[in-house]
């Protein structure tokens, strides 16, 4: 009779259990408590008891039943999730809306220009070539594998085959041997060289992130914080406090979802009314949006807010042109500072009191930048991943550079500029899509210093759809490369120190704006899958596993609540490298999509629970002041607007799908060659590209 003994723990009590075949039984032996089950080879003589047999049998049965129920629940949930995913995929494919089709259907109603389709086709063609090559090689080497060659044809004498090609058994053997010789001689060396270059860049980038994190830790440890020279008691007194003339600008374009919140928040800033001017700079080309914003401004004017509405007839230069036009107004000549808020930003009432005092008795200070916080960071997976990225950007990059270098890139909003610094730097220029970074670099070259306030937050929105986020990231990564081309001669000729020039050229532009998207895309999307088909060029396991994990760990440190998303964050960042690499190349070489500008779509979420109530109350109080003719016009346009069919679609992104199949093909090759860590990385990265390519991350509208 076969028997089986062993130990199992249950609440810390040792129990001896014997299971016999064919009639399995549970026997309790020497049980000081009821927690451990001891399972051994033989029953110790004299120690077996029948006491408690039924009790322990029932306990074990219940444990097994509970585990079975839990496993069944997991399987059911997984099955349900898979069914839902398949349903969404079928619906997405049935809609037939690719990214190229959607761009062709849209016009410039959102204030932007579209990406050149020729450039997109070339980049997509580049990826498709690698995809079809990988499929061909996978089929080729599968045949070799089933011949027993295990991808390397060890039984073939390659030198002999090179000199006597007709000594092989068949045509396939001859072709495979030639392929091995060609890949060893011609493909492996350049691929290995490029891989080594990317590894070096990868290590440099990791070192940079580590130094930034150490700097952030030092700031926290020493409690370093910019402190204004104005005493706190002076801020509370209206007569002795520091209250200079402040101009507030709200540039917007076709953003009907958020204009009410931003205007209401700015009009409630705690600052003397006679020393505050608010400009609503509306670049909307949608007539109903123009009327709605104009009426909102009129309502606040009736409530004694010093606010004016400006609309440009000739909309050139996008946001930079809008700000430049407003700064040329005669009404702003008496103002010393300008605060800028994008249309979805909602500053707290004490924003100016916590930022403007830093300028007092600090004539070298040109900019005070506040941190962003997000009202919808927990809306979906996409917003959570964005929050991780931006938390690192503000708390680590901006704060460390602000404390140790007095320089960082202006974020375009939630900041206060000294108008004199803007004028000395040359004012707003329309030459790039990152006018905020442009003015910051030029002001830095003129000797102005910047301060970043990590404890002053201004709430705003994150893009909730992948399409909106993708457009935003394209602009954010194309613009810096345009700016680098234009600013490099000025940086070299400037009178700033060598260390500042090194920081601008190597760290600010090359390492963080060019090298990062280059090696992320090249190493993980091209080189890694290609090394599966050219095994003579290889990537060590630590490059595939440990370094990316370390980078993700460092990036997620400022947002510890999001640690459960560390793996999705790593995979998604590699997925986004396609868009970032494409944008970087477009900006660097001035290709067709370099000047693509699309206003990021907003959903209109409020930052405070009572803000909407406050707006509604004041709208009711000022309802009589609204022009009846304008109301009739708005109602007429709204009725016509509702009649127009406007159905949103999620999209299918062809570049991401092509790379998904490339990586999954490479993972199949890796599985057959038993490369464990490479297989898992390629598999999950391929799935990540597949989900993004089918637009299954972020807002779902179809």
Residue with structure tokens 């062993």? 6
Quick one: which of 290, 294, 278, 301 has its CA closest to 253? Answer: 290
Whether 283 is a known active-site residue: answer yes
CA of residue 146 relative to chain centroid, distance: 43
254 Rama sector, left if φ>0, alpha if ψ -120 to 50, beta otherwise: left
Helices (H), 96-187: 99-105, 117-146, 158-163, 171-182
Q: Where are the alpha helices (DSSP H) in 434-515?
A: 435-445, 466-493, 498-502
Residue found under tokens 């104005």: 230
Q: With H, G, I as helix, E, B as strand and everything else as coil, classify residue 29.
A: strand
Classify 88 as helix, strand or coil. helix
The CA radius of gyration of the chain, in Å to the nearest whole number, is 32
CA atoms within 13 A on the CB side of 74: 6
User: How far apart (Å, rounded) are the C-alpha atoms in residues 89 and 100?
Assistant: 18
For 93, the enclosing helix (H) or strand (E) is helix 53-95
Select which of 110, 283, 438, 695 is catalytic.
Answer: 283
Q: Which of 282, 344, 436, 438 is catalytic?
A: 436
User: Going by DSSP bridges, is the β-strand pair 36-37/8-9 parallel, antiparallel, or unpaired?
Assistant: antiparallel
- Burial class of residue 548 (count of CB atoms within 10 Å of its CB; 0-12, 13-18, 19+): buried
The C-alpha atoms of residue 260 and residue 250 are separated, in whole angstroms, by 12
Residue at token pair 């022009």: 627
How many Cβ atoms sit within 10 Å of the Cβ of residue 695? 25
Provide CB contacts within 8 A for 57, sequence distance 6+.
26
According to the 3-state scheme, what is the secondary structure of 548-583? HHHHHHHHHCCCHHHHHHHHHHHHHHHHHHHHHHHH
Pairing of strands 449-460, 365-374: parallel
What gap in Å lies between CA 444 and CA 157, rounded to an integer? 65
Asked if residues 97 and 652 have their Cβ atoms less than 8 Å apart, the reply is yes
Coil vs helix vs strand at 280: strand
> Is 436 tagged catalytic?
yes
The half-sphere exposure of 142 on its side-chain side, counting CA atoms within 13 A, is 11
Q: Are 267 and 307 in contact (CB under 8 A)?
A: yes
What is the distance between the alpha carbons of residues 173 and 148, in angstroms, rounded to a whole number?
12
Catalytic residues: 283, 436
């Amino acid at each position: 009779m076969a028997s089986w003994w062993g130990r199992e723990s249950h609440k810390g009590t040792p129990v001896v259990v014997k299971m016999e075949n064919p009639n399995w039984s549970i026997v309790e032996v020497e049980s000081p408590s009821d927690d451990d089950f001891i399972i051994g080879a033989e029953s110790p003589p004299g120690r077996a008891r029948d006491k408690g047999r039924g009790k322990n049998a029932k306990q074990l049965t219940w444990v097994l039943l509970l585990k079975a129920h839990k496993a069944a629940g997991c399987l059911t949930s997984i099955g349900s999730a898979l069914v839902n995913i398949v349903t969404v995929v079928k619906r997405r494919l049935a809609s037939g809306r690719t990214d190229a089709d959607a761009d062709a259907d849209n016009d410039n109603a959102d204030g932007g220009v579209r990406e050149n389709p020729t450039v997109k086709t070339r980049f997509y063609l580049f990826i498709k070539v690698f995809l079809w090559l990988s499929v061909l090689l996978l089929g080729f080497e599968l045949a070799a594998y089933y011949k027993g060659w295990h991808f390397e044809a060890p039984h073939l004498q390659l030198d002999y085959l090179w000199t006597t090609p007709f000594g092989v058994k068949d045509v396939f053997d001859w072709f495979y041997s030639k392929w091995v010789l060609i890949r060893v001689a011609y493909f492996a060396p350049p691929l290995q060289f490029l891989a080594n270059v990317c590894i070096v860049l990868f290590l440099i980038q990791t070192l940079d992130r580590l130094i930034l994190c150490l700097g952030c830790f030092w700031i926290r440890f020493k409690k370093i914080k910019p402190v204004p020279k104005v005493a706190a008691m002076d801020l509370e007194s209206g007569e002795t406090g520091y209250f200079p003339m402040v101009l507030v600008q709200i540039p917007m374009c076709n953003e009907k979802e958020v204009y009410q919140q931003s205007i209401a928040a700015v009009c409630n800033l705690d600052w003397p009314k006679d020393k505050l001017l608010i400009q609503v700079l509306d670049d909307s080309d949608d007539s109903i949006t123009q009327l709605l914003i104009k009426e909102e401004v009129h309502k606040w004017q009736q409530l004694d807010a010093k606010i004016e509405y400006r609309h440009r007839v000739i909309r050139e230069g996008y946001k930079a042109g809008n700000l430049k036009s407003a700064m040329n107004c005669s009404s702003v000549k008496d103002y010393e500072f300008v605060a800028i808020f994008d249309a979805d930003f909602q500053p707290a009432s004490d924003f100016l009191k916590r930022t403007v005092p830093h300028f007092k008795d600090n004539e070298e200070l040109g900019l005070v930048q506040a941190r962003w916080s997000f009202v919808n960071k927990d809306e979906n997976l996409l917003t959570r991943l964005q929050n991780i990225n931006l938390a690192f950007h503000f708390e680590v990059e901006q704060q460390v550079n602000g404390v140790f270098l007095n320089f960082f890139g202006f974020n375009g909003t939630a900041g206060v500029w000294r108008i004199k610094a803007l004028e000395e730097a040359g004012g707003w220029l329309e030459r790039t899509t990152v006018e905020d970074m442009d003015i910051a670099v030029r002001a830095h070259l003129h000797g102005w210093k910047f301060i970043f306030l990590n404890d002053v937050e201004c709430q705003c929105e994150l893009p909730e759809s992948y399409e909106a986020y993708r457009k935003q990231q394209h602009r954010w990564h194309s613009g810096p490369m345009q700016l680098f081309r234009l600013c490099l001669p000025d940086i070299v000729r400037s009178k700033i120190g060598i260390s500042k020039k090194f920081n601008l050229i190597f760290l600010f532009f090359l390492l963080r704006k060019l090298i990062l998207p280059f090696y992320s895309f090249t190493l993980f999307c091209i080189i890694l899958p290609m090394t599966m088909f050219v095994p003579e060029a290889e990537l060590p396991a630590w490059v595939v596993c440990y370094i990316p994990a370390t980078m993700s760990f460092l990036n997620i440190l400022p947002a510890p609540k999001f640690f459960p998303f560390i793996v999705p964050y790593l995979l998604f960042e590699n997925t986004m490298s396609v868009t970032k690499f494409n944008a970087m190349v477009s900006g660097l070489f001035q290709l067709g999509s370099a000047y693509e500008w699309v206003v990021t779509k907003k959903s209109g979420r409020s930052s405070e629970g009572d803000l909407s109530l406050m707006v509604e109350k004041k709208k009711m109080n000022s309802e009589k002041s609204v022009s009846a003719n304008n109301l009739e016009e708005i109602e007429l346009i709204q009725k016509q607007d509702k009649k127009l069919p406007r159905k949103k679609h999620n999209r299918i992104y062809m570049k991401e799908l092509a790379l998904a199949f490339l990586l999954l093909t490479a993972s199949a090759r890796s599985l057959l060659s038993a490369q464990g860590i490479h297989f898992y990385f390629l598999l999950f990265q391929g799935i990540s590209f597949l989900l993004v390519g089918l637009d299954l991350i972020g807002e779902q509208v179809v």
